[in-house]
Structure 1
Amino acid sequence: MQLAEIHIHPLKSCRAQLVEQALVEPMGLQHDRRWMLIGADGQFMTGRQFPRLVLIEVAADTQGACFTAPDMPELRVERADMNEDVPVEVWRSAFAARTGSWDADFWFSDFLGVACRLVYVDAHTTRRTHADPSVPVGFADGYPLLLIGTASLADLNARLTQPVSMRQFRPNLVVQTGQAFVEDGWQRIRVGEVVFENVKLCSRCIFTTVDPEQASLHPKQEPLATLNGYRRSEAGTMFGINLVARGTGLVKLGDAVEVLA
């Protein structure tokens, strides 16, 4: 098996950036989900409520990020501008993030049509995963990384009248597999030079029904409706696995994927 795709989402719910290689850090892939939008109450904003977020493209680097969106001028935000502590909350997990760019706040508020603020989190975050209090996590829903096998998507698409892309499920790592949902049973894997642990199957929500190209909700809630028919359990409708990295290093397209346990 080989690593087939690498997806980075620098802003929570933004369009995926497909890259050829990525640095794995304790918080996940470098730059992944380090930026987020919050409302006036500090609650996180995602494509579930604001589908237009999926149209925003982000190019992140060690100094900051450039944001582009339809009919909007390019926005550059420097990490150094984010110099004000602000309380935020992601799925009942309360912690501190950084804000400070009024230009960014006006830019995103204009694009979404609702008042919001841009926040940033770095490696000093106090937020931790539910499964392991030693593992930091940024603005991801709960875990640093998400992996999906290509055969799992192929199995789903064979059941749909209109196939969907991998972008719809917002993974970080996509592995070329020959058997649908084989990844569910992996406990530990090595991708290139990094070992990962499967800590939990990923329960899917209404966000999977947002078309990543059109920013529109599917009228019949596909592909979630079909997934509910054969992947639903007491824990939710599962598609993909949540990972934590047991080390750091580089992963690249074509890297061998080895199941260790």
Structure 2
Amino acid sequence: MLTVSQLFIYPIKSLGGLALDTAEVTDRGLKYDRRWMLIDDNNRFLSQREFAQMALLSVSIEAAGLRVTYLKDGSSIGIPFIPQTNTDIPVTVWDDTCTGTLVCPDIDKWFTNVLGMNARLVYMADVSRREVDPRYAHEQQITSFADAYPFLLIGQASLDELNTRLQSPIRMDRFRPNIVFSGGEPFEEDVMPHIRIGDIDFYGVKRCARCVMITIDQQSAAKHPEPLKVLAKYRAQNNKIYFGQNLLHKGTGNISVGDVLEVVAKPAAIL
């Protein structure tokens, strides 16, 4: 039997993740997941890919909003759920442009000081709609400031198998999934075009191509060659390295750790 073993959200894109026991599935992913994002002077998203120190900013949820803590010195700042400005601007995530609302100039100053570079925080309001690539989404599904899809699914068995090939085992947080499941075979998520958790249907639409971000230790921000070197030996196809499955979904509600993950359909070969 396959069961949900971990749930994660990343409220501010490319900052630390947050483990949950129960998560609410919304129209564009898990509630709060990547609804905030740091941008540069060109309104383009900031990422650990270029700025590994972003891993040292941990995020928690409080009654009035988020709290971001800089792990190096323990300083922190509160971020209200409702932006303190009404200023909407076009922001860029890879090849997509959508609308973000500037949150607060004082919060921008804090991030700029901590990161040592100009940074502004934006929020994706409900009226801002960013559609998933129509080559994979056939019902005009939307997503947040995530790279491309509302959910990322990884099987614990896949990480366990990878760790048998590494000199030093790594944690699941390197891969920044939303849903982790236990049971089954390594990389079984590759061949899950339709799964169900509770009353919500999820559809595996594209295996996740990985980049240098998985080489960043999420506790120290240190960079390592692995696991990309090892993964390249057996998880590469068409010059890309795959680990995890991107999901779209139909339905809203809650999912929890311990829920059964039902495989509704399974193809004969890897997508």
TM-score range, shorter-chain basis? Answer: over 0.9
The equivalent position to 2:78 in structure 1, one of 72, 76, 79, is 76
Distance 1:235 1:119 in 2: 34
The equivalent position to 1:246 in structure 2, one of 250, 253, 264, is 250
Distance 2:199 2:62 in 1: 23
The equivalent position to 2:170 in structure 1, one of 140, 161, 164, is 164
2:17 maps to a residue whose letter is A
Shift of 1:2: 0.5
1:195 maps to a residue whose letter is D
Given the superposition, is the C-alpha separation of residues 189 and 235 from structure 1 closer, same or farther in structure 2, using an over 3 Å criterion? farther
The answer to whether the 8 Å contact 1:31/1:60 transfers is no
The answer to whether the 8 Å contact 2:9/2:19 transfers is yes
Matched, 1:115 2:121: no
Shift of 1:135: 1.0
Q: Which runs of 5+ in 2 are unaligned?
A: 266-271
Distance 1:19 1:235 in 2: 34
Matched, 1:195 2:201: yes
Query: Matched residue of 2:143: which SS?
Result: coil
Correspondence for 2:10: 9
Shift of 1:62: 8.1
Distance 1:100 1:57 in 2: 18
Correspondence for 1:29: 30
Distance 1:84 1:38 in 2: 14
Q: How many residue pairs get matched?
A: 259
Distance 2:207 2:152 in 1: 9
Distance 1:144 1:44 in 2: 17
Distance 2:121 2:14 in 1: 13
The answer to whether the 8 Å contact 2:152/2:244 transfers is yes
Correspondence for 1:44: 45
Correspondence for 2:57: 56
Shift of 1:100: 3.7
The normalised TM-score by structure 2 is 0.92
The answer to whether the 8 Å contact 1:27/1:123 transfers is no
Query: Matched residue of 1:80: which SS?
Result: coil
Correspondence for 1:204: 210
Distance 1:27 1:138 in 2: 6
Query: Matched residue of 1:44: which SS?
Result: coil
Distance 1:48 1:82 in 2: 29
Given the superposition, is the C-alpha separation of residues 198 and 61 from structure 1 closer, same or farther in structure 2, using an over 3 Å criterion? farther
Q: Which runs of 5+ in 1 are unaligned?
A: none
1:177 maps to a residue whose letter is G
1:104 maps to a residue whose letter is I
The answer to whether the 8 Å contact 2:153/2:178 transfers is yes
Query: Matched residue of 2:184: which SS?
Result: coil
Shift of 1:77: 1.9
Distance 1:248 1:237 in 2: 31
Correspondence for 2:268: none
Matched, 1:91 2:94: yes
Shift of 1:63: 5.1
2:101 maps to a residue whose letter is R
Show CA shifts across 1:58-109 (max 9, x none).
1246853221112253211222314211111011101110004011101111
Q: CA RMSD in A?
A: 1.4
Given the superposition, is the C-alpha separation of residues 95 and 143 from structure 1 closer, same or farther in structure 2, using an over 3 Å criterion? same
Show CA shifts across 1:114-170 (max 9, x none).
011011102222211112261111110000100000110011101000110000000
Shift of 1:177: 2.4
- Larger CA deviation: 2-11 vs 129-138: 129-138
The normalised TM-score by structure 1 is 0.95
Please give the residue correspondences for 1:145-156 in structure 2 after superposition, counting only pairs within 5 Å: 145-156=151-162
Query: Matched residue of 1:12: which SS?
Result: coil
- Larger CA deviation: 52-61 vs 31-40: 52-61
The answer to whether the 8 Å contact 1:148/1:239 transfers is yes
Correspondence for 2:269: none
Distance 1:8 1:54 in 2: 14
